Chain A
Amino acid sequence: MYRTVIGLEIHTQLLTKTKAFCNCSADHFETEVNKNVCPVCSGQPGSLPVLNESAVKLAVMAGVALNGKINKISKFDRKNYFYPDLPKGYQITQYFTPIIEDAFIEINGHKIRIKRIHMEEDTGKMLHEGDAISSASESLIDYNRAGIPLIEIVTEPDIKSPSEAREFMERLRNILRYANISSGDMEKGALRCDANISIVNEEKGESSKRVEVKNINSFKFVEKALEYERERLIEIMDKKEPMVQETRGWDANNKKTFSMRTKEEEADYRYFPEPDLPILEVDDEFIEEVKKDLPELPKQKQERFVEQYDIPEYDAGVLVSSKELADFYEECAKKVPDGKFLSNWFMGDMTRIMKEREEEVEDLKLTPDHFKKLFDLIKDGKISTKIAKDIFEEVYDGKDPEDIVKEKGLEQIDDDKMLEDMAREILANNEKNVEKYKNGKTNLLGFFVGQVMKQTKGKANPAKVNKIFVKLLNE
């Protein structure tokens, strides 16, 4: 009955070495507080901004990666407001003319349009003794983050559900990471999401007011916060309660949103052109340079994987969903000639254990050599796939598959004589079944093979055992 309309505003930190407008290091994680500051990013009187070209490059790269139009001429503006984490009392941003317009990401066969991508600078970080600045006994400010280059990505209201919003964010993160534009780490604040949501009652032709939800700091919460907000809006509409256009915050602890301010309380940012920076011009040469440096993106990688490793499109899609996973796959594929063999392990047991243990690709102790040995052991008939599955968790922990097989004596029994003796004994002990088999119940072959496997604890080469039984039973 209700249609959901969602638009996102995403801020992402660019992976530059230095800040947007000065030479301070942009590495603000685990850096001593207020270490990476200078007259410019701490807003000393008389200091002036100088634009970091690498930041421009990454912004243009985002434009290319997200299929956008690059404005050869863009401008910087000032957004004025007072807050202690904002050293100059204004943020340098691009309000009137952004560097990128009309981009998009395709999800589920439809385009989510991106209206604009513009460059701006990050603020400092505050720590309050107490919940908020209003009630804090004291507040501390770290300006290491102040002046880190950001791009803000603003979508059109093309997103149809909370889960699609999450999907968009994940897809976007993936692209940003592939292109080395941003670490895309939401938990660390390198990627931040504000969401606008409203609902439409199609039958009655009524729309709810638009609500902006802020402080969403994980992919899971993008979906959760929007689901909560959608339900809340539906309830208000159903009850015909009055509604305000407002900004709400996401309270991750209590899994609900709370009102921050209404539209009337919004600040007037008094935007005007930044007089300290000239017009930003990017020429064709610069854009070509960026295009040349643009790494392979998920979609292209997926296509290449299908081609190069002869795996299904689905498998390739899963593998490229994370750049790290895809990179590791390629490393392994250099040693293991069977792409499907690898993708099965990657999508199956490996991912399962990673999820159980909440580990990332970079935590893996598994190496391409491990996969190579596992592959060879099976190929050479030394172990069965089943044994391989049994020992995989140990391999995952970094143990050499050959050593495990040796230590545990798991090598397949390949001795024909021994297997034949064993088979004869089993047939002798199961006369009734032999009778039945001979009377046409040939599927009992599996039962006989199973007996050998049981006795050998799975170490017998099942193909060989199979052959032996067929021979004996047809004698």
Chain B
Amino acid sequence: MLEEIKGTNKIDEYKKVLEQKNSEINAFISDVFVEGNKEGPYYGIPFAVKDNMNIEGTKTTCASKILKNYNSVYTATVVKKLLEKGFSVIGKTNLDEFAMGSSNEYSAFGPVKNPVDLERVPGGSSGGSAAAVAADMVPFSLGSDTGGSVRQPASFCGVVGYKPSYGILSRYGLTAFASSLDQIGVFSKNVEDVALITDIMKGKDEKDSTTIDFNKSLLENINDEKLEGKKFVVPKFVYNKNADKKIIEHFDKIISMLKSKGAIVDVVDLKELEYSISVYYIVATSEASSNLSRFDGARYGSRTDAEGLTEMYQKTRDDGFGIEVKRRIMMGTFNLSSAYYDAYFSKASKVRKIIEKKMDEILKDYDSFILPTVPVLPPKLNEKLTPLDYYMMDLFTIPANLAGLPAISVPAGEIDNLPFGFQFVGKRYEDQKMLAIANSFEKEIQGEVK
């Protein structure tokens, strides 16, 4: 689609939709306009950026009170690359505070509504970016995915959400939640577009030491794959009691369709994945507790004045952070404390390595893992689920982050008029292959799923 509108100026058209719909959907925190390079090939095409990515001259709030007036002093590498190619930013999107959440209800700027069903959550944490694409407010948007924060809202809103292999996209400028898991991702209406956008953003960034050289074009051979003869594998834990029955039925229906197209689908027992949630919530919260230490009121962001230094820190952080962020900082601080380090962080890191190894091993014999993106359907706003309910929602997305593997959620039919996302998890750095498979899925299966 992007290739089709290339060369035309669609900025005003999309801005208009954004204006009309945002009051209802609340996908955007700001409608700041950052014009792309006029000489760039894609000038005239707008996009949206999750509000945890820095763009010089814009506010980057992370949907937190503590940064509600924070002005970015530099621009994230990936955004810079898109601006150079001519794309223009027409707004920064809502999210769960500091990307911590799965429903977008933990935003200091109010929840985002799911454009498919306004009574339901759009998912999180990149709920604003997913909703913006779903509601045609932008043709594509950027999000960040630490445990599913791109794929899960993509699934809930019925759009494509792609998280590349860890290291392919620079994190420079993305406010860190859990550095070893965070990866920027793309939302769009189709697989081709996420490939095109990622091609522009990818590659070694001298400002991010965890990036790798990645020169292979993702778009070029995207039509070269067919489902026929592909080998897919479902981790057995998908069928454990954690998932909604309707989800599993729908998923199985798609599996038979895959088989009918000549694909091979096996189920393997990968017990280690059962520990994914536990490992994730130890590693992610630990890293977060450290990453969020810089928000102390001393240099920037909001500060609550107090008598002494310690009290200033306490009041600033108490006033500035929301409940979920505080909960995770506390968990992380506990996990890293010297008395519990060995029992929690150290052990979780070891299990993480095992999970990574096991997934790599299985992928030697298969083209990709397939799973439902989310084990449940989008909940209603204010449904008052427990934090654990939400944590369990990440069950199928977390393994890709723990292992640094590429993953994508592609819309595949509906259940009770709500979108269903079908997930591929590919081999590390073989994003091209995974996207080409997802593309063939889009062509061969998507239209046929009811």
Contacts from A to B (Cβ < 8 Å): 39, 42-51, 78, 80, 82, 84, 87-90, 133-134, 141, 268-273, 275-278
Known: A80-B290, A80-B293, A82-B293. A46 touches B210 (CB 8 A): no
Pick from B70-78, B249-257, B270-278, B436-444 the stretch touching chain A.
B70-78
Contact of B308 among A43, A134, A269 (CB under 8 A): A134
25 intermolecular pairs with C-beta atoms under 8 Å apart: A39-B73, A42-B299, A44-B54, A44-B72, A45-B294, A46-B53, A46-B76, A46-B172, A46-B176, A48-B209, A48-B210, A49-B209, A50-B207, A80-B293, A80-B336, A84-B298, A88-B294, A90-B293, A271-B341, A272-B341, A275-B179, A275-B287, A276-B208, A276-B209, A277-B209
**Could you tell me which residues of chain B, from 114 to 129, have a CB within 8 Å of some CB in chain A?**
none
Task: Write the chain A residue with the least CB distance to B309.
Answer: A133
**Could you tell me which residues of chain B, from 276 to 323, have a CB within 8 Å of some CB in chain A?**
286-287, 289-290, 292-296, 298-300, 308-309, 313
Task: Write the chain B residue with the least CB distance to A42.
Answer: B299
Q: Are B175 and A82 in contact (CB under 8 A)?
A: no
Distance in angstroms from A275 CB to nearest chain B CB is 4
Question: Please, how many residues of chain B have a CB less than 8 angstroms from a CB on the other chain?
Answer: 47
Give the docked Cα–Cα distance between A87 and B294 (Å): 6
Known: A45-B60, A46-B76, A87-B299. A270 touches B336 (CB 8 A): yes
Q: Cβ of B286: which chain A residues have Cβ within 8 Å of it?
A: 272
Q: Are A89 and B209 in contact (CB under 8 A)?
A: no
**Could you tell me which residues of chain B, from 364 to 421, have a CB within 8 Å of some CB in chain A?**
none
Task: Write the chain B residue with the least CB distance to A81.
Answer: B293
Tell yes or no: B30 within 8 A of A by CB: no
Please give me the 6 A-B residue pairs with the lowest Cβ-Cβ distance, nearest first. Answer: A89-B293, A270-B336, A275-B180, A275-B179, A45-B175, A84-B298
Give the docked Cα–Cα distance between A47 and B299 (Å): 15
Residue of A45, A49, A278 contacting most chain B CB atoms (<10 Å):
A45
Q: Cβ of B208: which chain A residues have Cβ within 8 Å of it?
A: 48, 50, 276
Contact of A89 among B60, B73, B175, B296 (CB under 8 A): B296
Contact of B173 among A46, A268, A272, A278 (CB under 8 A): A46
Tell yes or no: B333 within 8 A of A by CB: yes
Q: Cβ of A43: which chain B residues have Cβ within 8 Å of it?
A: 294, 299
Distance in angstroms from B283 CB to nearest chain A CB is 9
Contact of B74 among A39, A272, A277 (CB under 8 A): A39
Task: Write the chain B residue with the least CB distance to A277.
Answer: B209
Q: Are B296 and A82 in contact (CB under 8 A)?
A: yes
Give the docked Cα–Cα distance between A171 and B179 (Å): 42
Give the docked Cα–Cα distance between A288 and B416 (Å): 68
Contact of A270 among B172, B178, B290 (CB under 8 A): B290
Give the docked Cα–Cα distance between A48 and B294 (Å): 13
**9 more A-B contacts (CB under 8 A) besides A46-B173, A78-B290?**
A43-B294, A44-B72, A46-B172, A47-B74, A84-B296, A89-B292, A270-B289, A272-B290, A277-B209
Task: Write the chain A residue with the least CB distance to B180.
Answer: A275
Distance in angstroms from B146 CB to nearest chain A CB is 12
Give the docked Cα–Cα distance between A445 and B424 (Å): 110
Q: Cβ of B172: which chain A residues have Cβ within 8 Å of it?
A: 46-48
Known: A48-B172, A82-B296, A87-B299. A270 touches B74 (CB 8 A): no
Known: A87-B294, A89-B293. A45 touches B345 (CB 8 A): no
Q: Are A272 and B345 in contact (CB under 8 A)?
A: yes
Give the docked Cα–Cα distance between A321 and B73 (Å): 48
Q: Are A46 and B290 in contact (CB under 8 A)?
A: no
Task: Write the chain B residue with the least CB distance to A139.
Answer: B309
Q: Are A276 and B70 in contact (CB under 8 A)?
A: no
Known: A87-B294, A89-B294, A277-B209. A272 touches B180 (CB 8 A): no
Contact of B209 among A51, A87, A88, A133 (CB under 8 A): A51
Known: A46-B173, A88-B294. A276 touches B76 (CB 8 A): no
Task: Write the chain A residue with the least CB distance to B178.
Answer: A275
Give the docked Cα–Cα distance between A133 and B333 (Å): 25
Q: Cβ of B54: which chain A residues have Cβ within 8 Å of it?
A: 44-46
Give the docked Cα–Cα distance between A45 and B73 (Å): 10
Give the docked Cα–Cα distance between A68 and B54 (Å): 43
Give the docked Cα–Cα distance between A112 and B195 (Å): 60
Give the docked Cα–Cα distance between A51 and B349 (Å): 24
Q: Cβ of A45: which chain B residues have Cβ within 8 Å of it?
A: 52, 54, 60, 62, 67, 70, 175-176, 294-295
Q: Cβ of B293: which chain A residues have Cβ within 8 Å of it?
A: 80, 82, 88-90
Q: Are B174 and A46 in contact (CB under 8 A)?
A: yes
Q: Are B336 and A46 in contact (CB under 8 A)?
A: no
Distance in angstroms from A280 CB to nearest chain B CB is 10
Q: Cβ of B299: which chain A residues have Cβ within 8 Å of it?
A: 42-43, 84, 87
Give the docked Cα–Cα distance between A233 and B289 (Å): 40
Tell yes or no: B338 within 8 A of A by CB: yes
Residue of A39, A44, A271 contacting most chain B CB atoms (<10 Å):
A44
Known: A46-B172, A272-B341, A275-B180. A84 touches B207 (CB 8 A): no
Known: A268-B337, A270-B336. A44 touches B290 (CB 8 A): no
Q: Cβ of B176: which chain A residues have Cβ within 8 Å of it?
A: 45-46, 276
Distance in angstroms from B294 CB to nearest chain A CB is 5
Tell yes or no: B328 within 8 A of A by CB: no
Known: A84-B309, A87-B294, A88-B294. A270 touches B206 (CB 8 A): no
Q: Cβ of B178: which chain A residues have Cβ within 8 Å of it?
A: 275
Tell yes or no: B65 within 8 A of A by CB: no
Distance in angstroms from A204 CB to nearest chain B CB is 34
Tell yes or no: B92 within 8 A of A by CB: no
Q: Are A46 and B298 in contact (CB under 8 A)?
A: no
Distance in angstroms from B57 CB to nearest chain A CB is 14
Tell yes or no: B171 within 8 A of A by CB: yes
Known: A89-B294, A272-B345. A44 touches B74 (CB 8 A): yes
Q: Cβ of A134: which chain B residues have Cβ within 8 Å of it?
A: 308-309
Q: Are A50 and B74 in contact (CB under 8 A)?
A: no
Give the docked Cα–Cα distance between A251 and B167 (Å): 50
Q: Cβ of A273: which chain B residues have Cβ within 8 Å of it?
A: 349
Contact of A90 among B73, B209, B290 (CB under 8 A): B290
Q: Cβ of A90: which chain B residues have Cβ within 8 Å of it?
A: 290, 293
Give the docked Cα–Cα distance between A43 and B290 (Å): 12
Distance in angstroms from B428 CB to nearest chain A CB is 16
What mask results when residues 258 to 273 of chain B are scored 1 for a CB within 8 Å of chain A, else 0?
0000000000000000
Give the docked Cα–Cα distance between A391 and B215 (Å): 75
Q: Cβ of A39: which chain B residues have Cβ within 8 Å of it?
A: 73-74
Q: Cβ of A46: which chain B residues have Cβ within 8 Å of it?
A: 52-54, 60, 76, 171-176
